[in-house]
Structure 1
Amino acid sequence: MLTDKKRNFLLVLLVSGSVVAISFTFYFYQVFYSPNTLLETDQEYVLKIPSNATYAQVNKELYDEKVINDAVSFGFVAKVLGYQDAVKSGLYIVKPKMTNLELVRLLRSGKQAPIKLTFNTIRTKADLAEKITKNLEMSQEQFLKVIQDSVYIRKFDFDEESIMGMFIPNTYEVWWDTSPEELFDRMYTEYQRFWTEERKEKARNLGLTPKEVTTLASIVQAESQQKADERPKIAGLYLNRLDRGMYLQADPTLVFALGDFEIKRVLNVHKEIDSPYNTYRNLGLPPGPINLPDITSLDAVLNAENHDYLYMCAKDDFSGYHAFATNLAQHNANARRYQAALNRANIYK
């Protein structure tokens, strides 16, 4: 039989064990299920985890930026759930009052928040690299290395002059840590999605390939930066010139060839530049687009107006619209009026 002393000892031991168990259970519950993120704000935090980041880097940013209140408890849960050895790069939205369990599960799952990728008003590859990588992990240099890789871009059936046309200005959802190669694959998919059988048929009816439509659309867009509603008419004019074997004589192609986008008045000396983009000296379309035409410009070519215009000149009221002509005499008269207006405005270059 147990003596009173032994019974008391066992009772104390049982009570003490129960207290420890309850305390441990309470602590375990607190560590896993108590809010631990952004306790002093209602604002979400955008966490960007770079490729090849370590757990220590993630933990440090979360604590230094006061995203988590208790780094030790977060580390414990991360260890238990195996996150410390399985960090996934990406962009994650950390919400206020998340528990350690919720946060670790989010980061371990790799369920990123997509970002909206928008690019427009692009003239050169450098412009595109700057705009397209602005909110991505990849650098401009990484993007340019791929777009300038003549061997790599052949997989998409593009060359160095035409590759820009694969990027159709729009808004896309992508992952922040997408690689340049993944981005190119995505843009090619979007390019194929845009070029439906209906659009391809319209291009064939014009005697153009999709790439040629893109090149012509870039010229049309450059000619109608202020007045998009005029694009189908301008497209019809250039198609008329192509059909008749005439030089396109598109001033924006000279500006592109010169690489000086501040030019407001194209002069005769500019027309002498030795470049495949000089449509005053080379028949047909230039070898590639002179900007990234948007969807309205592409569709303006595919749905060009049917008319007899062969010439156009900016109107002398500087409205952004053009004066169209069917013959050279009429065009020269329009051009003289516009040149006089430029002179009055002291615009000489």
Structure 2
Amino acid sequence: MRRVLKTLLALLVLAGAAAAAGLWWVNAPLPIAGTTAVDLAIEPGTAPRAVAQAVADAGVPVSPDALYAWFRLSGQARQIRAGNYALEPGTTPRSLLRKLVRGEESLRTLTLVEGWNWRQLRAALAQAPDLRPDSRALDDAALMAALGRPGVAPEGRFFPDTYTYGKGTSDLAVLARALRAMDRHLEAAWAARRSDLPLKSPDEALTLASIVEKETGRAADRPLIAGVFVNRLRRGMPLQTDPTVIYGLGAAFDGNLRKRDLQTDTPWNTYTRAGLPPTPIAMPGRAALLAAVQPAQTDALYFVARGDGSSQFSATLDAHNRAVNTYQRGQ
């Protein structure tokens, strides 16, 4: 009997020691070398044992069997989520499992800037780290068809914001999110529009907002600039806005807008053609969208840059010419 008790006691001591060792192990940092995080990719449907093996295969010197045993013992093995994770030095088996269960992915960011045109957006996509370039081989028409908008020009259709994504995400997925975001913001702006606007559709509001975005140097001027363009549209006056001319010139624009450029007819030249251009010229932000549908009540028909980011507004051509002399010609 005494021998049995001794054996049981020894087993209890061993079990306690094993439990203590296990508790120490799950809370001890994994031996991740250096100061750089290890990238771990877990595909959808990966079994817990394969997840443990993937951690070792990613470059973390850990026993896959021990890690799998911890996953099973925790009762959370089946809660591990697919995704892309960064395992930083100092990560323990416990914190690793918590990260995998919560789906705390390692995310990258892509910022689309207000006023960017489509060419600039595509360049940013091409340079975004770890973003799968599925759109690279597609022309504009094919790309928009892939996003479910066949026949729609891409210019101005994506909302400027900062978007997060996991490593290996398709750039089409990011574009789809930006497209849906613009849809929501444009729908909200159109629902809040003034009833007397000379705009026939949300698309026209989007085009006007893109012009307001490019013409505005100071945020407070947006509603006034929109008011000038709305007044011109009501009177059938050409908008005569330089950013549309520059857009129409495309790659031919060398940074210096000349008189001959203003006289070169393109679909976007608002000096040679009345009304709004056929497409937006850039990505407008929320403030520009709201300014386009809620312009300031003003009698101004002209504005000129003061040189400090703000604009001088005038109701008559004579007053405008004086403002041009003052702020542009220094007379």
**TM-score, reference length from structure 1:** 0.70
> Residue 332 of structure 1 corresponds to which residue in structure 2?
321
> Residue 310 of structure 1 corresponds to which residue in structure 2?
301
Q: CA deviation at 1:135?
A: 5.6
- Contact 2:189/2:293 (8 A) holds in 1: no
> Residue 88 of structure 1 corresponds to which residue in structure 2?
82
Q: Write the deviation string for residues 95-124 of structure 1: whole angstroms up to 9, x where unpaired.
A: 73x432441463366442555553214523
Q: CA deviation at 1:290?
A: 1.9
CA distance in 2, matches of 1:11, 1:336: 106
Q: Write the deviation string for residues 161-195 of structure 1: whole angstroms up to 9, x where unpaired.
A: xx343322234555455433432342343234324
Find 1:128's aligned residue among 104, 121, 124. 121
CA distance in 1, matches of 2:59, 2:195: 56
| Range with bigger deviation, 246-255 or 189-198 | 189-198
Shift in alpha-carbon separation, 1:283–1:16, aligned structure 2, 3 A = same
Shift in alpha-carbon separation, 1:79–1:255, aligned structure 2, 3 A = farther
> Residue 184 of structure 1 corresponds to which residue in structure 2?
175
| Range with bigger deviation, 117-126 or 281-290 | 117-126
Equivalence map 1:278-289=2 (5 Å): 278-289=269-280
Share of identical aligned residues, percent? 25
Shift in alpha-carbon separation, 1:150–1:260, aligned structure 2, 3 A = closer
Find 2:262's aligned residue among 264, 268, 271. 271
- Contact 1:218/1:291 (8 A) holds in 2: yes
Q: Aligned residues, how many?
A: 317
CA distance in 2, matches of 1:51, 1:205: 55
- Contact 2:302/2:314 (8 A) holds in 1: yes
Q: Write the deviation string for residues 110-149 of structure 1: whole angstroms up to 9, x where unpaired.
A: 442555553214523242234457665314x434556822
> Residue 66 of structure 2 corresponds to which residue in structure 1?
76
- Contact 1:119/1:132 (8 A) holds in 2: no
Q: What's the RMSD between the two structures over aligned residues?
A: 4.3
Q: Write the deviation string for residues 277-330 of structure 1: whole angstroms up to 9, x where unpaired.
A: 211122221222222112111112122112222222223xx2233233333333
Equivalence map 1:1-349=2 (5 Å): 30-31=24-25, 33-37=26-30, 47-49=38-40, 58-59=55-56, 61-63=58-60, 70-72=61-63, 76-78=66-68, 81=71, 88-92=82-86, 94=88, 96=90, 98-104=91-97, 106-107=99-100, 110-112=103-105, 117-131=110-124, 137-139=130-132, 141-145=133-137, 148=140, 149-153=143-147, 155-156=148-149, 159-160=152-153, 163-196=154-187, 199-202=190-193, 205-208=196-199, 209-224=201-216, 226-259=217-250, 266-315=257-306, 318-341=307-330
- Contact 2:156/2:210 (8 A) holds in 1: no
**TM-score, reference length from structure 2:** 0.73
Shift in alpha-carbon separation, 1:27–1:145, aligned structure 2, 3 A = same
- Higher Cα Rg: structure 1 or 2? 1
Shift in alpha-carbon separation, 1:16–1:305, aligned structure 2, 3 A = closer
CA distance in 1, matches of 2:264, 2:55: 54
Q: CA deviation at 1:222?
A: 1.5
Q: CA deviation at 1:230?
A: 1.1
Structure 1 gaps of 5+ residues are 1-6, 64-69, 345-349
